[in-house]
Amino acid sequence: MKTELCERFGIEVPIFGFSHAVEVVAAVTNAGGYGVYGATRRLAEEITDEVAQIRAAVGERPFGLDLVIPNKVPEKNDRAELEKLVPEAHRRFIDGLETKYAVPKPSEPGMRTRFIRSEEIQDSQIAAVAESDVNMVALGIGCPPEVVKLMKSKGKTTVALVGQERHAARALEAGVDLLVAQGYDAGGHTGQVGTFSLVPRIVDMAGSVPVLAAGGVATGRHIAAALTLGAQGVWIGTAFLMTEEYRPHLSEGEMDALLNAQATDTVISRAESGKPFRQTRSAWSEEWTLPDAPAPLSHPLHDVLVGDILGAIIEHDIRPLQHYGAGQGIGWFDRLRPVSEVMNTLVREGDLALARSYQFSGETA
Amino acid sequence: MKTELCERFGIEVPIFGFSHAVEVVAAVTNAGGYGVYGATRRLAEEITDEVAQIRAAVGERPFGLDLVIPNKVPEKNDRAELEKLVPEAHRRFIDGLETKYAVPKPSEPGMRTRFIRSEEIQDSQIAAVAESDVNMVALGIGCPPEVVKLMKSKGKTTVALVGQERHAARALEAGVDLLVAQGYDAGGHTGQVGTFSLVPRIVDMAGSVPVLAAGGVATGRHIAAALTLGAQGVWIGTAFLMTEEYRPHLSEGEMDALLNAQATDTVISRAESGKPFRQTRSAWSEEWTLPDAPAPLSHPLHDVLVGDILGAIIEHDIRPLQHYGAGQGIGWFDRLRPVSEVMNTLVREGDLALARSYQFSGETA
């Protein structure tokens, strides 16, 4: 399975693997793909350290790092000031959930939401990334032209995730090297246009800028279909959750939620971060849809509200509320495998699907 | 562009074209595809007549017909009884819209919703279809085993549209000959699983029963990708709205809404029929999402509530409220073409995409 992008980026197969675990990122890269570390909830010094860890594991092979840079965040990371902005009704709603589901307080309040996204934090993250030797920087939300310019000046490949044509236009204008067309089927923060509908639209807009397909890419057939739609590769997250390398990063409850979920068991909810976020359906997502529930707050204020209870749900294993970000491909994954096996399976099946599709063409005659 | 399904069903290309217009159905069939007439809002005697019209236009080529058969409908078509079930708050909401947008009463009340779906109506539709010489019967919603059995005993191909695995299991149990995996990207009544994510899941469940992909199929690349995902063909609706043959069936306002829409301009709303229905976004869909709006009623009661105002919106050309059922492929269509040209373009581009995809395969080496 080869596309032009492989040679250009020095990889063997056009599979980009996103993960919040350095072990998974390294394993994807070492399996011939392009590992991408989701670093957006990491502090600058942690980013520096983790990039060094991945580099040590992969040698000269390329890997990337993903940040989200929303337009509007507070200037300073002043939690006390932000706490004042949380409406009383929202506090009462969270208190009600704690009572209803018997959720104790977390042992370390503020642990899960160690920082609230602010300009200050973002600037320090960006500086750490720019100074690191990571090969690629992906922007999961937002695409400030000055960040693209900075990263390019440091010799890094720049990538933007886009969920609609308007976002793609902005990212192309900012000069990114690669677009990820991420459809509604995706896990985590995502948009409203189905992957199948989105990918060829973005491909046609992008001209000579290559496009990766994201959102529901779970099998080699999906990769073959993505290339057929005009993408030059794929961006995968969900498949790498159900791996031996990722296991230490999941609670028992999170793992069970993921292993048992089908596509129809995922739901897009603003209850996680204030922005639409696909996750496994749980009492957490459902409670926020009940008639008396308040609307989630905006991001990042919502983080201030829910950080402690989300941390406590995991710490104290409150099963009905446990959930995890995952895409509509989740139904394909019902056991833990090593990352290398996931990669090999994807490539083998993708090659077969591509070879097979030729037979349908009228061009064979 | 050929799959096994072509020989089995006596068609030249594996493209099924759904339309509410007999002219479009005939044109799809005459272009080598399989036209399917959406007959669910037609009375039995109209169905008999329209099937005869299509037959006269296509000769011995095959064509189909689509009905929806929801589980729970009233026994009799007693409109007066149903009117009593509409809550006062819903009446007031509709009155409010009539005032706000200056919508006059329709010249013929009851015209658009000439009948409310009932067992009585459904039985007469089913009998008319069974006695007609239509080649295929597709069930858009619901899949009663006795209907499948009846249609098969009449020598007709039976098809079920499914939006999730549970529906597919039921349809396979009922013994259908063909499944349509219709994803979230689709126009009209649709589900929550993206087309890209849904298709290969249904293919794997269906075993030897062939599967068509539906929902966002707008270009030949989409067809090639659908075949790569394991489908044996595609089911297309939206592309045939923007055709010369369909033009007489649209108001000016509906046509403009369709011609100007992008994927992000469509929205799934229960405001049309009481069931989730993707349509172009308009004041109609948006008004039902405002904080004070009531929740749409269940189907078919919702039809009783909204039939007259929806008829009047079209009759009196109330632009902000005009809309039309369409999928996320709508952005590809910005001018009217003959059906034959739409078909030729799809086939030509599909063949090229299939031929091209082979080059990516590692199997070539």
Q: How many Å apart are CA A167 and CA A178, to the nearest integer? A: 13
Min Cα distance A266 → chain B (Å) is: 9
For residue A59, what are the contacts with CB-CB under 8 A and spacing of at least 6?
none
Instruction: Identify which of A185, A144, A172, A177 has the alpha carbon closest to the alpha carbon of residue B199.
Output: A185
Q: Residue A198 and residue B263: Cβ atoms within 8 Å?
A: yes
Instruction: Identify which of B326, B313, B243 has the alpha carbon closest to the alpha carbon of residue B283.
Output: B313
Which helix H or strand E contains B22, and what residues bound it? helix B22-30
The pLDDT of residue B260 is above 80? yes
CB pairs under 8 A between A and B: 175
First to last CA, chain B: 25
Average pLDDT, chain B: 94
| Amino acid B360: pLDDT | 76
pLDDT, tens only, A165-175: 999 999 999 99
Chosen from A279, A360, A363 to mutate, greatest number of chain B CBs within 10 A: A360
The pLDDT of residue B151 is above 90? yes
How much is the average pLDDT of B305-319?
94
B198 and chain A: CB distance < 8 Å anywhere?
A: yes
Measuring CA to CA, how many Å separate A128 from each of A38, A147, A195, A238, A326?
A: 14, 12, 33, 27, 28
**Chain B, 107-166: which have a CB under 8 Å from a chain A CB?**
164-166
ipTM, 2 dp: 0.95
Q: Residue A201 and residue B166: Cβ atoms within 8 Å?
A: no
Cα dihedral value B331, B332, B334, B338, nearest 10: -140
| Amino acid A111: pLDDT | 64
Residues B16 and B106 in one domain: no
First to last CA, chain A: 25
| Amino acid B364: pLDDT | 46
Q: Residue A229 and residue B216: Cβ atoms within 8 Å?
A: no
Strand pairing category for B15-19 and A277-280: unpaired
Exposed / middle / buried, residue A313 (Cβ in 10 Å: 0-12, 13-18, 19+)? buried
Which helix H or strand E contains A199, and what residues bound it? helix A195-206
Residues pairing with A214 in the sheet: A182, A235
* Angle of helix B339-357 versus helix A339-357 axis, rounded to 10: 130
Poorest-pLDDT segment among A21-25, A51-55, A252-256, B77-81? B77-81
Which helix H or strand E contains A63, and what residues bound it? strand A63-68
Bin A139: left if φ > 0, else alpha if -120 < ψ < 50, else beta: beta
| Amino acid A112: pLDDT | 66
* A278 or A82: which leads in pLDDT: A278
Is the residue at A305 inside a domain?
Answer: yes
B291 and chain A: CB distance < 8 Å anywhere?
A: no
User: What letter would DSSP give residue A43?
Assistant: -
Is the residue at B361 inside a domain?
Answer: no
DSSP for B113-178 reads T-S---HHHHHHHHHHHHHS--SEEEEEE---HHHHHHHHHTT-EEEEEESSHHHHHHHHHHT-SE
Q: Residue A228 and residue B228: Cβ atoms within 8 Å?
A: yes
Is the residue at A351 inside a domain?
Answer: yes
| Amino acid B137: pLDDT | 98
Residues A207 and A293 in one domain: no
Q: Check: CB of residue A334 under 8 Å from CB of residue A257.
A: no
| Amino acid A117: pLDDT | 83
How much is the average pLDDT of B130-140?
97
For residue A286, what are the contacts with CB-CB under 8 A and spacing of at least 6?
none
Which helix H or strand E contains B235, and what residues bound it? strand B233-236
Instruction: Identify which of B218, B210, B168 has the alpha carbon closest to the alpha carbon of residue A196.
Output: B218
Is the residue at B123 inside a domain?
Answer: yes
The full length of chain B comes to 365
Residues A31 and A172 in one domain: yes
Sign of CA dihedral A109, A112, A116, A119: positive
pLDDT, tens only, B102-114: 999 988 877 666 7
For residue A359, what are the contacts with CB-CB under 8 A and spacing of at least 6?
none
Is the residue at B210 inside a domain?
Answer: yes
Residues A48 and A127 in one domain: yes
| Amino acid A359: pLDDT | 75
Q: Residue B362 and residue A353: Cβ atoms within 8 Å?
A: no
| Amino acid B63: pLDDT | 98
How much is the average pLDDT of A339-345?
98
CATH assignment of the domain containing A171: 3.20.20.70
Q: Check: CB of residue A16 under 8 Å from CB of residue A236.
A: yes
pLDDT, tens only, A106-120: 888 776 667 788 899
Average pLDDT, chain A: 94
Domain count, chain A: 2
Q: Chain A residues with CB inside 8 Å of B328's CB?
A: 193-194, 197-198
Q: How many Å apart are CA A321 and CA A101, to the nearest integer? A: 8
How much is the average pLDDT of B136-149?
96
pLDDT band at B72 (very low <50, low <70, confident <90, very high): confident
Residues B131 and B274 in one domain: no
A1 and chain B: CB distance < 8 Å anywhere?
A: yes
| Amino acid A74: pLDDT | 83
Q: Chain A residues with CB inside 8 Å of B183's CB?
A: 194, 196
| Amino acid B291: pLDDT | 87
| Whole-number CA gyration radius for chain A | 20
Q: Which residue of A has its CA nearest to B347?
A: A362
Q: Which residue of A has its CA nearest to B332?
A: A201
The pLDDT of residue A78 is above 70? yes
How much is the average pLDDT of A67-86?
86
Which residue among A1, A3, A221 places its CB closest to the CB of B228?
A221
| Amino acid B108: pLDDT | 82
User: What letter would DSSP give residue A322?
Assistant: -
Q: How many Å apart are CA A10 and CA A63, to the nearest integer? A: 10
Min Cα distance A55 → chain B (Å) is: 28
Q: How many Å apart are CA B38 and CA A127, to the nearest integer? A: 59
| Amino acid B29: pLDDT | 98
How much is the average pLDDT of B88-101?
97
Q: Which residue of A has its CA nearest to B226?
A: A225
Q: Which residue of A has its CA nearest to B365?
A: A1
Q: How many Å apart are CA A317 and CA A212, to the nearest integer? A: 36
Q: How many Å apart are CA A108 and CA B187, to the nearest integer? A: 48
Residue A343 C-alpha from the chain's centroid: 18
pLDDT, tens only, A282-312: 999 999 999 889 999 998 899 889 999 999 9
Residues B47 and B86 in one domain: no
Residues B132 and B236 in one domain: yes
Exposed / middle / buried, residue A252 (Cβ in 10 Å: 0-12, 13-18, 19+)? exposed
Q: How many Å apart are CA A186 and CA A325, to the nearest integer? A: 9
Q: Which residue of A has its CA nearest to B216?
A: A197
Domain residues for the domain of B96 are 79-114+251-321
A223 and chain B: CB distance < 8 Å anywhere?
A: no
* Angle of helix A220-228 versus helix B339-357 axis, rounded to 10: 120
How much is the average pLDDT of B250-263?
96
Q: Residue A221 and residue B229: Cβ atoms within 8 Å?
A: yes
Q: How many Å apart are CA A126 and CA A137, to the nearest integer? A: 10
How much is the average pLDDT of A24-48?
97
pLDDT band at A364 (very low <50, low <70, confident <90, very high): very low
CB atoms within 10 A of CB A317: 12
Q: Check: CB of residue B15 under 8 Å from CB of residue B344.
A: no
Residues B284 and B215 in one domain: no
pLDDT band at A365 (very low <50, low <70, confident <90, very high): very low
Tokens linked to B69 = 């058969």
Q: Check: CB of residue A331 under 8 Å from CB of residue A261.
A: yes
Is the residue at A277 inside a domain?
Answer: no
pLDDT band at B358 (very low <50, low <70, confident <90, very high): confident
The pLDDT of residue B75 is above 90? no
pLDDT, tens only, A237-267: 999 999 999 999 999 999 999 999 999 999 9
CB atoms within 10 A of CB B30: 17
Is the residue at A155 inside a domain?
Answer: yes
The pLDDT of residue B45 is above 80? yes
pLDDT band at A363 (very low <50, low <70, confident <90, very high): low
Residues A187 and A234 in one domain: yes
Residues B16 and B150 in one domain: yes
User: What letter would DSSP give residue A277?
Assistant: E
Instruction: Identify which of B39, B37, B20 has the alpha carbon closest to the alpha carbon of residue B29.
Output: B37
A90 and chain B: CB distance < 8 Å anywhere?
A: no
Exposed / middle / buried, residue B259 (Cβ in 10 Å: 0-12, 13-18, 19+)? middle
pLDDT band at A40 (very low <50, low <70, confident <90, very high): very high
Is the residue at A264 inside a domain?
Answer: no
Residues A150 and A172 in one domain: yes
The pLDDT of residue A159 is above 80? yes
Residues B149 and B297 in one domain: no
Q: How many Å apart are CA B111 and CA B105, to the nearest integer? A: 11
Return the amino acid letter for A243.
Answer: T
